[in-house]
Amino acid sequence: MRLSSKTLEVSGGIRVADTTDDYKNSVRRFLKSNSVIETLLGNIEIGKEIGQGGNALVFNAVWGSGEVAVKVLAEDSTKKSSRYLRFITEVREIIKLSQTRAVVPIYHVGEITIEESTFPYMVMKKYPCTLNEWKKHNDLSELNELTNVIEQLIYCIEVIHQNNIVHRDIKPQNILVDENNDIVVSDFGISWFDPNHYERLVKTEKKDRLANFGFSAPEQFQLNPDPKPTMDLFALV
């Protein structure tokens, strides 16, 4: 069944609930039975799910003659929640940094509609693996390999900070590696964009989780800490 990226007809009466897990399951079921999204730039053929975060699902896909990754936010955009506004900010601002080779290039953005709920998605470059997976097949005890990884990570974070952004979620799963062992940073869903340089679409709420337990600086677990570049540097240690 071919589907428009603006309005997708539901077959089988898929019910959309209002929690993140329910949204994720609704998107999974829907894209499993309706795997082609039509866009003005050609059809996107959705493949298997390859990852997920707290608020989003990532699918392997084919667009034109090449593979891409499609990230779908598991949040009804009609509600204009903070998670939705963070997603829009991520697309709008990070797409400008694609030429820096420090972040994942974003090619396209759209929406899919399931009954009365609308879910935004972005189409990104597909990378073979995360840094976590790459480490399993490469020896970081070799000084040259380790130095190369560290230098690239420092470059990526330097570019992000020079553009007045604090990532706040640096971890191996959000660092992607291509066929040439070049590294980029992904997932700016909880990043801070300096309001002196970016239009603020969303204000951080006390209930927002803006840290990961394995790599975040201690101050990120406080209520609404002031974002600082040192938060990202802590994750590298």
Residue 200: CB atoms within 10 A of its CB come to 12
d(CA 214, CA 33): 36
d(CA 185, CA 13): 38
Buried residues in 157-192 as b, exposed as e (16+ CB within 10 A)? bebbbebebbbbbbbebbbbbeeeeebbbbbbbbbb
CA angle (177 as vertex; 174, 180 as ends), nearest 5 = 165
Q: Which listed residue (76, 169, 187, 232) is catalytic?
A: 169
| Burial class for 31, CB neighbours closer than 10 Å (0-12, 13-18, 19+) | buried
State yes or no: is 208 an active-site residue: no
Residue 55: CB atoms within 10 A of its CB come to 20
Q: What residues have CB less than 8 Å from 97, skipping those under 6 apart? A: 103, 159, 160, 163
Instruction: Please check if 71 is assigned to a binding site.
Output: yes
Written as one letter, the residue type at 224 is N
Residue whose token pair is 């999204």: 37
Q: Binding-site residues for ATP, please?
A: 71
Show which residues are catalytic. 169
